[in-house]
Chain A
Amino acid sequence: MTATSTTPGQAQGSGFEDVTRTDASLRRFLHGLPGVDQVGAESRAAGLGTRSIKTSAKAYAIDLAIRMVDLTTLEGQDTPGKVRALAAKAMRPDPADPTCPQVAAVCVYPDMVATVKETLGSSGVKVAAVATAFPSGRAALDIKLADTRDAVEAGADEIDMVIDRGAFLAGRYQQVFDEIVATKAACARPDGHDAHLKVIFETGELQTYDNVRRASWLAMMAGADFIKTSTGKVQPAATLPVTMVMLEAVRDFRDQTGTMVGVKPAGGIRTSKDAIKYLVMVNEVVGQDWLDPDWFRFGASTLLNDLLMQRTKMTTGRYSGPDYFTLD
């Protein structure tokens, strides 16, 4: 990922400069996107959820899912001790089994980034921080940007920003676009190791699949590295159909521009079975290129324990229990 100079109001050389110049042209483009067939999308997602993944394919899927987990704790009660324990778990999810892969990242609030970074060291596990007045996104732009810069300076590898859903639903697309572009600029580091930007839509508040598709294109045109469903603080959080609409958007975006964007469903994915349904969908909708922690992530906390229990069941032949894994 190379640093691209960005000025608010301009997309990053992906051929959308005309589209993103004014609010009116953005609206024309986004509302010109084909509508999502709601019934069709839901039945397609449900159909993909019925695939049976067993034995060696299941073992592969479970290990892949573990590698894709963004181990998350976003509570007001988080302490340095708790996030340190979580970081330790991220590096060695199953202390009893050294063959168990480590997770992709640890996701925390910006003030915990330094603590997590110190614990993770050079393990390869990334640090993600939620920023821009997470989870509501209701703050002035300069506060959001300061929030982002804080996290970047503390060493965050990835920034999870929330869009201003109020502005989006009111149709002020240019404002949302400019905020993403500005946050992307705040993710830059002088040495070129920019923090990756994940853009959270909070799809539970976007009301329609059409809006999810529009938000996906808006974020991708503004330079998002990842698009993410939810904060986990609002119900419904990630669902299969919503994730499918977003996967279709990243697929179409790559067809059109050649730029690959990652997808992260977050919130409400608690069982291995659910996770495998998502992996099947990734494979079917966008193909194997996205079956990699660099391009697909799960935002989750309880999911990891279920994956570990399933993994233990597959390696030992015995059903495992929650007594044998840390609580969080």
Chain B
Amino acid sequence: MSRIDVRKTYKLYIGGAFPRSESGYSYEVLDSKGKFVANASLASRKDARDAVGAARKAFGGWSGRTAYNRGQILYRIAEIMEDRRPQFVQAVVQSEGLSAARADKVVDEAIDRLVWYAGWADKVTQVLGNTNPVAGPYFNLSSPEPTGVVAVLAPQESSLLGLVSVVAPVVVTGNTVVVVSSYERPLPAVTFAEVLATSDVPGGVVNVLTGSAATVAPWLAAHMDVNAIDLVGVAGEPALATDLEVAAADNLKRVRRAPAAEPDWSAEPGLEPMTAFLETKTVWHPIGV
């Protein structure tokens, strides 16, 4: 007698817990050849609202940690991804249709990307901060500060390396994030959420919604308590991207604009993914007091 399949329905990751979608909806996830793999929760606007609430709640604690500690935690994520490498490789093979060898390389790159950003945690202030020369007896110090709650529309094609490449630079500087995964390839994001849950990342710092950016993103873009949005997940959809930018203008969100096509994620990212979600704080302090 053949064994009955365990047909999985994956859940969302909000505030450090794994709830089902408030809407009760889920959708079928197919592999690159069109075969059923699992069900994923279809996030609704209320899930997005809850995720933003969780991210806001986590922001004070996360941004208040030392940069060194945030670096340690990012490194810890990389360690645990390394432990679960076979699962990630399988998820990438299923989702993106790569060969096992190619998928292995993608997982390598994703883990290396996390380690790279982990290293930046306590260096980014030194590189971007400054003591400014001013015409008076003052110390004048500029330092980068996290923007707040950032909504990220993760890339649709690169489901693991792309996801890590947009989430890590946001959280490493002290922001908290609500990320909407690739619609057709959500499973690497689900596994990544399971890694986050067991790797010292405080609940609410990263919230993962699986589902359609077209339905959830307008609510995130218009949400008055979201401080910035990364639109890379709607690359190649200029009409939707424009609508989202207009909605985001209501509370003067920072917008990282959607490119015409998805970038090559294996290239070294540079500092821009981090600086896009940083504010500059400048302090004047009298000399000699």
Contacts and interface: CB of A to CB of B under 8 A. Distances in A.
B222 A324 contact: no
B49 interface: yes
B82 to A, nearest CB: 38
A40 interface: no
A121 interface: no
A322 B60 CA distance: 14
Interface string A305-328: 000000000000111111110000
B196 interface: no
A321 B222 contact: no
B225 interface: yes
Provide the main secondary structure of the chain B interface. Answer: helix
A320 B225 contact: yes
B250 A319 contact: no
Contacts of A317: 222
Contacts of B225: 319-323
A121 to B, nearest CB: 32
B277 interface: no
A304 to B, nearest CB: 17
Interface string B219-260: 100111110000000000000000000010011000000000
B91 interface: no
B282 to A, nearest CB: 21
B222 A323 contact: no
Interface in A232-288: none
Interface residues of A, number: 8
A322 B52 CA distance: 12
A321 B247 CA distance: 15
A305 to B, nearest CB: 12
B250 A318 contact: yes
A139 B52 CA distance: 47
A324 B49 CA distance: 16
B107 to A, nearest CB: 36
A8 B250 CA distance: 62
A221 B73 CA distance: 63
Contacts of A320: 224-225
A317 B45 CA distance: 12
Contacts of A321: 56, 223-226, 251
Q: Which of A317, A319, A322 neighbours the largest number of chain B CB atoms within 10 Å of its CB?
A: A319
Interface in B39-60: 49, 52, 56
Contacts of B224: 318-321, 323-324
Contacts of A324: 224
Contacts of A322: 56, 225
A319 B250 CA distance: 11
B56 to A, nearest CB: 8
A43 B247 CA distance: 43
Contacts of B226: 321
A101 to B, nearest CB: 22
Interface string A217-238: 0000000000000000000000
Contacts of A319: 49, 52, 219, 222-225
Q: Which of A317, A323, A324 neighbours the largest number of chain B CB atoms within 10 Å of its CB?
A: A323
Q: Which of A317, A318, A322 neighbours the largest number of chain B CB atoms within 10 Å of its CB?
A: A318
B59 to A, nearest CB: 12
Interface string B196-237: 000000000000000000000001001111100000000000
Interface in B70-104: none
A272 to B, nearest CB: 13
Nearest to A319: B223
Nearest to B225: A321
A320 B251 CA distance: 10
Nearest to A321: B225
A319 B49 CA distance: 8
Interface in B243-289: 247, 250-251
Contacts of B222: 317-319
Nearest to A318: B222
Contacts of B52: 319
For the complex of A and B, the 4 pairs showing the least CB-CB separation, nearest first, are A321-B225, A318-B222, A321-B224, A319-B223
26 contacts: A317-B222, A318-B222, A318-B223, A318-B224, A318-B247, A318-B250, A319-B49, A319-B52, A319-B219, A319-B222, A319-B223, A319-B224, A319-B225, A320-B224, A320-B225, A321-B56, A321-B223, A321-B224, A321-B225, A321-B226, A321-B251, A322-B56, A322-B225, A323-B224, A323-B225, A324-B224
Given A319-B222, A321-B226, A322-B225, 5 more contacts: A318-B247, A320-B224, A321-B56, A321-B251, A323-B225
